Structure formats: structure tokens, C-alpha cells
Structure 1
Amino acid sequence: MSSRPRKARFALLAAALAVTGAAYGVTSASAEVTTQLTAAQLVTDMGAGWNLGNQLEASNNGIPSETAWGNPVITQALINKVKASGFKTIRIPVSYLGKIGAGPNYTVDAAWLNRIQEVVNYAYNQGLYVVVNMHGDGYKSVGGSWLICDAADQTTVKAKYQKVWQQVATKFANYNDHLILESMNEEFDGQYGNPTQPCYSNINAYNQIFVDTVRQTGGTNASRWLLVPGWNTNIDYTVGNYGFTLPTDRYRASSVPSTEQRIMISVHYYDPWDFTGQEDGAVTQWGPNATNAAKKSTWGQEDYLDGQLKKVRDTFIARGYPVLVGEYGSIDKTAYDSASNRYRADYARALVSAAKKYGAATAYWDNGYNGQHGFGLFDRGSATVTQQGIIDAIMTAAGGSQPSSSPTTSPSTSPSASPSTSPSTGPGGTASCRVTSAVNAWNTGLTTTVTITNTGATAVNGWTLTFTLASGQSIVSGWNATYSPAGGRVTATNVSYNGTLAPGGSAGIGYQASHTGNAAAPTGFTLNGAACS
């Protein structure tokens, strides 16, 4: 099976234990616009992902609270550290539970919605992708749960579900495509055998309600990517002939090309469970580097993992539906085997490598707990890294440690500056540079993506890229560089993770700007004082 009821156990354990980096970041999203990424562009741009698990899904006696399971209050510093470590996507699991009022309106507590938005903005304003879902409301083991697929009164369940998503979607209607909404998490009837009917039919119905409701709230919701799971996010029960059906997308914006999708598929991967989640010392090793056959699972090795990811490629990705492995990971067993973290890193590397091979995105499950049986990669209190080896493995497999998240332009977008080379001298060193840029514009705004490539034989260590905005344009948000001033002759300065450009290396940056009718591309690029185009 791909999942086990690990979260409830970690919640009990945790309960028992009782400055934005991009300039001009917005605090709330207004006048945002879809960049209409294709499936392949989206997955590439999302890069390596990370879960802010056991926080906004945490609850006590049915009341959500981000500290209820032992984690500290979420901070901007934590999200900054996650980004600086190379992650480009953050998945934020959310419970609503007792924060939902009585029917028929099922009003969600305004303070809770505002806190969700605040945490989303910690990541969104950094240029990261953010996935927001409905998480704990479907766990039978959680007090106050109600999104239960085999509950008798499905009419009430569906009405409540529709009203909650209507409010959440409205809250985020104007955020751009860096926000992805996910209908639910690991919904199933509580048993791990073959899916039952009509439970699967109800899961399909929830997904359809979710898509219809979000689309009809308008704004960017009419075209943004929406993420839906099958039964228990289990790969076999989603790709196989067990009852999963893709929701129709009849209300999506007409601006979306008819040949493209805007529905994503969510799956989780925790195989083999005796290595990834079973809380004992029997199986502590995994993969080809295992040194003790007695401590290695008899199944679920690299060939099996590869086969599972190939299934999602063949079933969904090949048809234009991107897949997010929204959770994967393994617990700390160093108490039983001092080399445990080596195998955890091997496991993460293999999963991300296979996902990249077959065109899927990934998000590591981090529950905030470090130490025996924890999934944590970061100390959330001090905003520091605790498992650099696992993070390095993820970034290596994902294709590098330098985040370059930016709205990828659609195929119809044409380059606005042709590549050219020239010597670049300055504090960062001497090199030859090539700059390309592309603009995606709408009535009063635009996004511009810029790629800087070092075509010289020596490294550039620290850079500033200067360019001129067209008259009437003003930068309102940016990513992967700091920008000053907002208009006229602008200087973009590298951030901590992309300041070194090795020979042949590139950095991708970008910004969103308003305009007064002139959507022309930037001109006059110089890198460390020397012209690039």
C-alpha cells in the first residue's frame, strides 16, 4: 500500500511532547493573472517540493491549531530557510473541522482563513509554488472529522464540502498560477484492501464538486491548476480499474487552449512501509547500497519504485495530466542503525529521480518532528536544517540546488531579446554572458522571465544585472533576485543561492510589473557593468 495512518500517530506523539527574499513582494494578491503553463512546463517549474506537515492540519478536540501537535508557530524565517535550501514548492495541508459554522452556510472562521492566507503568503511572496488542500477533515481518527466517504448522510457532507471550498477559493481567487488548490487528502473508507463502492463514487463526486466550485468563483481560479486524488492517494487504486474517474472541467476559462488540461493528479508514495514508516528497528536499510540483507525489505526497491512512477506516466502524464507525488519520505531510525540517514537519502534521491524521469513533481513529507521516528528536515523553531544529506539528495535528483521558480511562458510567448555575447567584467569576475528574456502580457500587467547564462571559461561569483523598463512599467513583485528601483533603470542583484554562475551555468529570474499600455520587453542588459545584449 502507498500510505499508512502515520499522521494520527505522529500527531499523538507530538502532542505528548507537548523577511521576504524578493523585493516588492505583495502581502495580498490582487490583479494577478494566469501564466497558462502547459503540464510539462508546470512540473519543471515546480521543481522539488516540501510539506509544511502537521501544522495547519493539527487540531485538538476537533479545533484546528497550528501548535496543537507540538510544532512552534510558523514563521517567515522557516519558509525562507526552506527556499534557501532549494525547494521551489511548498504544500500546506489544512484542516477546517470545528472552524466551520453551522449549515446551510457553513461559514469558515475568518481568523482561521486569514491565518491560512498569511502562511500561504510567506511562500507565495517568495515566488514559490504553494499547494493548499483540505487535509484532516477526512480522517476518521481525528475528532470532528466529517468528510467521510462512507458516511450515511452524503447530502450534508457534499453541501458542507462545497460551501467550504467556495469560501477558500474566493479567498485566493486573484493569486496567480503559483497557487495550486488540492481537493482533499488520502480520502478512503479506513481499510487498505480493494476500494469499496459507493465510497469511491463519493470520492469522485467530491472531486467534481471541488472543480466546479473553484472554477465558478472566477478570477484566476477559472484557469489555475487543480489537484485531485484517487482512493487514499494510492497509485495502484488510482491508475488501475478500481473506480477512479477524472472530473470534467466544464467551467474553466475559455482562454485555456482546448488541447491543454488544468487538472493534476495527486498520489503519495511510502513503499515499502517497513522501511519508510514502521516504528521499529527491523528494517533500516534500503536500495543498492544496503550492507545488511537482514535489515533490508524484501520488496519495494528501486525497480518497484520505477515501475510505480511509470504507471502514473502511462495513465495520466502521457495524456496531458501532470502528477504530483504530494507526499513521500522515511522516518529517522538512527537509534537502531547509525547509517539510517544514508538510506533515507538514497530513498529520497531514487524517488525524485524516477519522478523526474517520468515527468512528475514531488513534495517531501516533513511533519516537523526531528529525532527517532521523525520525518523532519528542518528545526522549525530555529529555522535551521537538520538533514542536509537528505536535502542534498533531493536537490541532486531534481537537477540542481539553485531555485529558479518563475512563471514559465506559454509556447506562444516569443523571446524579446535575442541571445548575444560580450565580455563581462566587474566585482563578480570576467566572463562572457548571454541574456534572453520573454514577456507574457495582459491588459494592465505582465510577467517577464530572464535567463542569464555564463558562456565564458571562468566562474562569475556574485552578479548584478541592470536593464531598462519600458515607459509606464513598474515592478510589483519579483523572484530569484532583489530589484531596485521599481521602474526606469533597474538593477537585479543575485540572492544567496544563485550568485555563482559556473562556466555554462545559468540563473533564471523574473518579475511581475504593471503597465499603462506599453508591454515592451526590457532593454539594455548589462552584467556586472558590461553589456550582454
Structure 2
Amino acid sequence: MMLTTTTSLKPIFKSYGIYLLAAVMLLAASISGWSPAASAAPAVTADFASLNASQVVFEMGAGWNLGNQLEASASGTPSETAWGNPTITQALIQKVKAAGFKTIRIPVSYLNHIGGAPNYTINATWLNRVKTVVDYAYNEGMYVVINMHGDGYNSVAGSWLLVNGSDQATIKAKYRKVWQQIATTFVNYDERLVFESMNEEFDGTYGTPNTAYYANLNAYNQIFVDTVRQTGGNNAARWLLIPGWNTNIDYTVGNYGFALPTDNYRSSSIPGSEKRIMISVHYYSPWDFAGEESGIITQWGAGATNPAKKSTWGQEDYLEAQLKSTYDKFVTQGYPVVVGEFGSVDKTSQDSANNAYRATFAKAVSATARKYGSVPIIWDNGYNGQYGFGLFNRSTNAVTQQGIIDAIMSAMNANKLKNAASSLYVDGMGRGTNGSNAGQWSASTSSNQIWVMEFYGSYYKIKNSATGLYLDGMGRTASGSICGQWSSSASSNQRWVLEAYGSNYRMKNAASGLYLESGGSSTNGADLKMATSSTSTNLQWQIAKP
């Protein structure tokens, strides 16, 4: 991707404590050429949750990109302030979480922070800074995606991970060593950390991929998977994210040369029927609306009022077809898809209605991604103003595009809760009075069965779409008690912990420790109950799209 600038000269580059064990491993590598594959690897930690494909997609929810920060660079040296953004703070990440985002993608460049052969040691200060920023989000209970971002661009000074490079043997050796160090640094992080092998890897030429270069990209992905897995510990079981050519959907799902890597070194604790690899794609279509720095195309979708300001392609039908193709190719085979970047630039200086269309676009991408089993992660480059992608002011931490954020959350947070034993759904029963019982009913299209899952610290609050009341434990502690409903409060009676349980979920009340359960009833109108922990499917729930 070529570097572009706004009129204020701010680049918008559209897509762009260390453990003792890690220190020992790196020291051994520098002395003897040792690799993790040649030694006993640490085991998966007890706190690591093994989530299947549908569970990890739900858990990751709506995502946000910390763009133009750790991938920013000047003359080949990465620096988080190189492109005009301020130093990243914990307060910013807390604001992003409070807005409803559950995942943060952190693009990272290494470039000249990598030392020479044969060890290719990453600058310790830079790696520590990457870890600190990861911890800002990870310690908030969020999912975090980190990648190798600018190192694969022909247009970036100091880049080296080039599919069209002349010395592929050296590139591959370097790539292996760098990912070995990154993976070792984060080996004990739980399932909420996802590694992404690369960003928009291609030869810089738009059009049909060069098959020889595509083969190099596939080789990088295989090296990435093998290297991360062989560091052991939680890296043997965590989800790994890989792109195809330039993260282009057509060139990834079509017959252009993309090859899924094998996963031969993954943990034996992963069920044989399940995958632990995800596919990365980006979505900025139509580009004349989403990214072109021009005031000509400012509207999108069926609600556009001026045909002259609407693109001739890339509308709802195209979006539907694109994400369905990823579903058909990958999701149906157990490989979740992550729409790692999407969004549209601010053109309100040319059309005052532009933000409304940007919100419509963001909601449509999010809703379609969710429909087809994908995780949407919106791009934010920190720039607010003409042609910026910013949703937050990173100097003040203020939200700058609440309408776009609300549109995303409205598409992502509504759910139906189906009991695994009875197949009845949690139902508000149309009851709008504080203290009324929550019930159960067979499937319907009623908003009484739609519940908004609000991220609340490390908990969820569960709000009925029809009445606005929340599921409430009512302070009841006896097994078999009825679950009630109440208007919003800060009480722990309204906080619920979602526990992955096999392919289902259990929902535990934070105040009482009781779990939502069907009570063993399959009768429409039955009260929703709460019970002490057991393995019964009465306590197990499936979270479904409305």
C-alpha cells in the first residue's frame, strides 16, 4: 500500500514482565542455535480456554484497530509517534473497551529494530514496548491481535518480508527467528491473544497474483504456524490468523494459489475435529467511497439520495457475495474469518450527510460479517478530519464518531439464547415491570427473545430488546430460584459470567454463583430458573444470531 497524506500531512496508511523462560530460550538460541522444537516445550496453562470456531468468533465480537502507531516508522525505524499520533496510553484502550469493542488489533512493524544474521534479535526496548501495549488491552480482558505489518511492503523503507525478494532463503530464516522471539515473549498469554502472520502481503502490483510469489507467501504462512506451535505452551493451542494475497477476498477464496498451512505441531489437547487457524481478509469496497481522497463519491447503500454521489458497484449485494464466499470456502470447514480491516474515510467536508452513510456502511459490514461467522475489526488511523478513519481522539480519548460505533454495536450485540436441552429460548414475555419473571418460549421472531449482550468489565449485562429490562438474579441464592428482570443498575445481580462449556455456554450470576437453567421444562411460558453448577444440559445455552 502506498503512503498517502492528508492536507495536514498526517499519514493515513490505510492498512498499516518478559518471562524468565523467554530469556533462557533466547539466550540458548544465540549460543548454540537451539530451537524450541529441539527441547521440551512448556505445557498449555490451566487458565487457557479451548474455544471452538463459533465460540471464538462470539468472544472476539466487534474489533478496533490501533492503526498508525506501532507499525508507524521513519526511515525504516518503527516509532509509535512517527506518523503524528501521540504515545499510546492505557486510558485510550479503556475508552475503546467502554465503547463496546471486545477485540483490539495492534499492527506492529519491526524493520530496523531487527538485528543481523544469524539470530536476527529484536531490539529489546521495542519488543518490551509492544508487550506493554498488548498488556494495556489484555489486562482489560480484551482479545488482542498482533501481527507483522509494515515489514512486507515494497514501499516501506527497511522492509524485508518481500514475496518478490531475490533471496528467499534469507527472508525465510529471518522470518522464522523473528516470530520465534515474538511467540516466546507471549507464550503464557491465554486464548485472548491471537497472532497474525502478516498484513497485506503482495508484490505491490495490483491485479492477478504472480503464482511464484504467491507460493512464497504460502511458505511464510507455513513457517509462521510451525514456528509458533513449536515454542510450545499456550502457543501450541492458540488461534493463529493468516492472510492470502494482499488480504484480498477474491484472491484468497478463488483459484489463484492460496494454500492453507498444515498444523502438525498443534497441541494434542485440541479436539481432532476442530481447527485453530483463522483466515484474514480486508474489506474497503467500493474504494471510491471507502478510501479515495475525493469528494465525488460520498454516499453508500440503498438509502443513498444522490445517484451521482453513489458508486456504481460495491453495494449491499456485493458485500453479501464477498463475505458469503469466505463462509463457503473457509467457515464451513471450521476456519473462522477475520475481517481485519474495514471502514471508510471522513468526507463530511464535501457532503454533510457522509457520516450517516459511513455508519450505514459500518453496520452493514459488521452485520454481514456476523451473519457469515466472521469477526469485523474496523480500521482507525487516529486521524480525525478530512479523509481520516478516526473514531477516537487519541490525545483526549474522546469518542469522535459515536454514530459509527453505535451502528457497529447494534449489529453485533443482539442475540437469542437457546437452551441446549429443551431448545426453548429465553423470553422476556413482554413483561415490563421490575421484578417480573423471565420466561422461555419456542422460537419466534418476537423482540421478546432478542437480548443485547452488553460488555460490562469482565461480565455481561443482558438486556431485553422489547422491554429494556435486564436479566437479574434478584439476590436469590437457592438452587431452583426464578430469574427475574429489572431496569438497569450497577448491582452484581445483573452481571453474568459466560463460561464456554464444550460447544455451548453456561451463564453464571456474579452475585449468587447460580447458573441460568431451563428447570427441565419444555413448556412454552415456563419460568427461567437458576441452579447450582452441574454438567446438565439444562444449564447449557447456545448463543445465536436473531
TM range, smaller chain:
0.7 to 0.9
Q: What letter matches 1:459 in structure 2?
A: L
Change (3 A) 1:457 1:150: closer
Cross-structure match for 1:349: 363
Q: What letter matches 1:322 in structure 2?
A: P
Does 1:334 pair with 2:356?
Answer: no
Listed as ranges, the matches of 1:112-511 within 5 Å are: 112-400=126-414, 430=435, 432=437, 459=469, 499=489, 507-509=495-497
Cross-structure match for 1:13: 9
Superposed structure 1 runs of 4+ greater than 2 Å apart:
5-13, 26-34, 428-434, 449-468, 498-501, 505-512, 520-527
Q: What letter matches 1:14 in structure 2?
A: K
Alpha-carbon distance in structure 2 between the residues aligned to 1:141 and 1:163: 23
Change (3 A) 1:165 1:361: same
Q: What letter matches 1:59 in structure 2?
A: S
Listed as ranges, the matches of 1:56-95 within 5 Å are: 56-95=70-109
The CA deviation at 1:320 is 0.3
Alpha-carbon distance in structure 2 between the residues aligned to 1:322 and 1:358: 9
Alpha-carbon distance in structure 1 between the residues aligned to 2:149 and 2:113: 14
Alpha-carbon distance in structure 2 between the residues aligned to 1:118 and 1:466: 41
Could you give the per-residue CA deviations for residues 327-381 of structure 1, whole angstroms, max 9, x where no partner exists? Answer: 0000000111010101101111111111111111110000000000000000011
Q: What letter matches 1:196 in structure 2?
A: N
Change (3 A) 1:511 1:303: closer
Aligned 8 A contact 2:203 2:213 in 1: yes
Alpha-carbon distance in structure 2 between the residues aligned to 1:92 and 1:464: 40
Q: What letter matches 1:147 in structure 2?
A: L
Cross-structure match for 2:65: 51
Cross-structure match for 1:36: 50
Could you give the per-residue CA deviations for residues 126-167 of structure 1, whole angstroms, max 9, x where no partner exists? Answer: 111100000000111111011110010011111111000000
The CA deviation at 1:430 is 3.8
The CA deviation at 1:78 is 0.6
Q: What letter matches 2:497 in structure 1?
A: I
In structure 1, runs of 5+ residues without a counterpart are 17-25, 402-410, 422-427, 435-448, 469-497, 513-519
Alpha-carbon distance in structure 1 between the residues aligned to 2:81 and 2:469: 45
Alpha-carbon distance in structure 1 between the residues aligned to 2:90 and 2:318: 38
Could you give the per-residue CA deviations for residues 405-461 of structure 1, whole angstroms, max 9, x where no partner exists? Answer: xxxxxx9xx9xxxx9x9xxxxxx9645479xxxxxxxxxxxxxx9877689988369
Aligned 8 A contact 1:14 1:369 in 2: yes
SS in 2 for 1:384: coil
SS in 2 for 1:165: helix
Could you give the per-residue CA deviations for residues 494-520 of structure 1, whole angstroms, max 9, x where no partner exists? Answer: xxxx8579xxx97543699xxxxxxx9
Change (3 A) 1:292 1:226: same
TM-score relative to the length of structure 1: 0.76
Aligned 8 A contact 2:497 2:509 in 1: no
SS in 1 for 2:381: coil
The CA deviation at 1:400 is 4.6
SS in 1 for 2:281: strand
The CA deviation at 1:89 is 0.6
Aligned 8 A contact 1:180 1:227 in 2: yes
TM-score relative to the length of structure 2: 0.75
The CA deviation at 1:6 is 5.9
The CA deviation at 1:13 is 3.1
The CA deviation at 1:525 is 3.8
The CA deviation at 1:300 is 0.4
Alpha-carbon distance in structure 2 between the residues aligned to 1:346 and 1:121: 33
The CA deviation at 1:259 is 0.3
Aligned 8 A contact 2:461 2:495 in 1: yes
Aligned 8 A contact 1:276 1:329 in 2: yes
SS in 1 for 2:194: strand
The CA deviation at 1:59 is 0.5
SS in 1 for 2:9: helix
Q: What letter matches 2:93 in structure 1?
A: I
Alpha-carbon distance in structure 2 between the residues aligned to 1:191 and 1:229: 17
Where relative contact order (Cα < 8 A, 6+ residues apart) is larger, the structure is 1
SS in 2 for 1:361: strand
Alpha-carbon distance in structure 2 between the residues aligned to 1:453 and 1:399: 10
Alpha-carbon distance in structure 1 between the residues aligned to 2:178 and 2:368: 36
Alpha-carbon distance in structure 2 between the residues aligned to 1:296 and 1:377: 23
The CA deviation at 1:197 is 2.3
In structure 2, runs of 5+ residues without a counterpart are 22-44, 440-457, 479-487, 501-507, 516-528, 532-546
Could you give the per-residue CA deviations for residues 194-220 of structure 1, whole angstroms, max 9, x where no partner exists? Answer: 000211000000000000000000110
Aligned 8 A contact 1:32 1:176 in 2: no
Alpha-carbon distance in structure 1 between the residues aligned to 2:93 and 2:51: 25
Alpha-carbon distance in structure 2 between the residues aligned to 1:221 and 1:363: 23
Alpha-carbon distance in structure 1 between the residues aligned to 2:462 and 2:414: 15
Alpha-carbon distance in structure 1 between the residues aligned to 2:475 and 2:89: 31
